[in-house]
Structure 1
């Protein structure tokens, strides 16, 4: 599940908060960007920050990470001892080190930082349920998106078809997709008869601040859900390119060419007071487009 905590752009607004999203993977929370006030947004959504295990920061513009140091401090004040894993651009570790040094703050948990290469897709995390890969983007400073791919799940076992006295180790073998064969080579239970394939693996791609990248769909091919920034409408395409941002139409073009399942758009410029035009513009190219509305949860 993906929960939108903030979908605004750099200029503060009473209507929208800076970028932050929460991806739930099993029992783990993965935070993607951490704009100012993110911990308050977590509280509003009744999300326990203590379940955070991984944080991914796209770049060092303040609206994408100014909420990070306060969040880390609050986790410390709450008595956290579990390790926390942070991925982001080079220099993020220096920023945090300086903040904690001058404030004489010491974390009571291990914070593991891994710098992300902004130039090449890189496998960052091999989690039991997902892999996380970086997505090189083009912004005014080094910026990376993130691609989360679910690992293939095991087949579902149809226990009701099996006799009640089937040994437990047989069940495990069948769930792994292996036939049960006796010492003579006779198939006692065929995995195909007692299992059904699991649902196809799901995937989510987060593309933060970036101008239009023509070859980006190659890396995003077939993802279930894509978030792509759409700071401007297409009548401001020249301005978008100048400041390394995208339009709603450009985001939809990426989604269409990548053949994704659904598209979320956000990071709208504060100059706009209505967001339906973004949706209309994007849907004219890619119908399965939705607004990344704050507080909404999307099932992937």
Structure 2
């Protein structure tokens, strides 16, 4: 489970910084989260294969979170993409993208599906046997969602010494991994607990950008392995955060502490600041496990 930050600044692209976009690699999926200007370039710099991106999650319709989407969709066409592409985002995103395609005489040679969001309560957007993605309703100037990505670890770990001693054939391994007991040829029933160990703890990642300080998200993100929470401003400019419905580093840390997350990742920094280190210092006064997002940086989410 790996997170690659493609851009982590607010508002506009600059010479050495990019607005918001991330890639989460989880259970053989590559999910793109937001898609600001410059996302294609950052994807290439990070050597992420375009063809493996099948699901794009857009938090809200402010330009620094989705103005790169039409370009990426067009590039997929030029690369002769064949896989279906699913875009999840606020109501209106379909109209915006299709208008741009029509006005430019463009088209897609692949199936393009839009899943438009309107709910103000959490809902599941995507689910398979390995992963679940659901919304985190956020409070910003326009309709906004964060996203919660969760592994689904159903398989138990095989106790190889025990299985070998009992001479159990490999054909039964899948049954054992999914909790089944085994009946031996002599009639003995071996309980699953004697053949397996508990599965690894399922990992989770919560993406919360953009939002003001809002304690209502705490139950939705409780105990996640990694929380990305916007921190556009420092506390000495909290009046700007309040006016624009953004958050400070201190407020992000307060949410992390209340939610008892394992690690906090700060991002969406205002370009008014010359350094991001003060954000870390401020947040660590409330919550000790703090990372700073950085364009192009990768973060491994370890197995607990």
User: What is the TM-score normalised by the length of structure 1?
Assistant: 0.96
- Tell me by how many angstroms 1:24 deviates: 0.7
- Alignment correspondent of 1:173: 175
- Tell me by how many angstroms 1:151 deviates: 0.9
Q: Which runs of 4+ in 1 moved over 4 A?
A: 182-185
CA distance in 1, matches of 2:183, 2:262: 41
CA distance in 2, matches of 1:222, 1:203: 9
SS at match of 2:175: helix
Compared with structure 1, are the counterparts of its residues 256 and 103 closer, same or farther at alpha carbon in structure 2 (3 Å cutoff)? Answer: same
Alpha-carbon displacement from aligned partner over 1:77-131 (angstroms, at most 9, x marks no partner): 1111110111000100000000000111110001111012251111111133111
Compared with structure 1, are the counterparts of its residues 106 and 48 closer, same or farther at alpha carbon in structure 2 (3 Å cutoff)? Answer: same
SS at match of 1:141: coil
CA distance in 2, matches of 1:236, 1:228: 17
User: What is the TM-score normalised by the length of structure 2?
Assistant: 0.94
Which structure 2 residue ranges, 5 or more long, are not aligned?
none
CA distance in 2, matches of 1:15, 1:285: 30
- Tell me by how many angstroms 1:271 deviates: 0.5
SS at match of 1:235: helix
Contact map agreement 1:150 1:201 (CA 8 A) in 2? yes
For the pair 1:191 / 2:192, whether they are aligned, the reply is yes
Compared with structure 1, are the counterparts of its residues 166 and 182 closer, same or farther at alpha carbon in structure 2 (3 Å cutoff)? Answer: closer
- Tell me by how many angstroms 1:69 deviates: 0.5
CA distance in 1, matches of 2:164, 2:214: 56
| Residues 10-29 of structure 1: pairs in structure 2 closer than 5 A | 10-29=11-30
CA distance in 1, matches of 2:57, 2:95: 16
- Alignment correspondent of 1:201: 202
Which structure 1 residue ranges, 5 or more long, are not aligned?
none
CA distance in 2, matches of 1:130, 1:114: 18
SS at match of 1:215: helix
CA distance in 2, matches of 1:257, 1:151: 24
For the pair 1:231 / 2:197, whether they are aligned, the reply is no
CA distance in 2, matches of 1:267, 1:183: 62
- Alignment correspondent of 2:53: 52
- Alignment correspondent of 1:104: 105
SS at match of 1:113: strand
- Tell me by how many angstroms 1:183 deviates: 8.1
SS at match of 1:216: helix
For the pair 1:163 / 2:171, whether they are aligned, the reply is no
| Residues 1-300 of structure 1: pairs in structure 2 closer than 5 A | 1-163=2-164, 165-182=167-184, 186-187=188-189, 189-300=190-301
CA distance in 2, matches of 1:43, 1:184: 59
Contact map agreement 2:177 2:196 (CA 8 A) in 1? yes
CA distance in 2, matches of 1:163, 1:213: 53
Alpha-carbon displacement from aligned partner over 1:168-214 (angstroms, at most 9, x marks no partner): 33222221222212588622x33222221121111100001111102
CA distance in 1, matches of 2:31, 2:174: 30
Contact map agreement 1:118 1:143 (CA 8 A) in 2? no
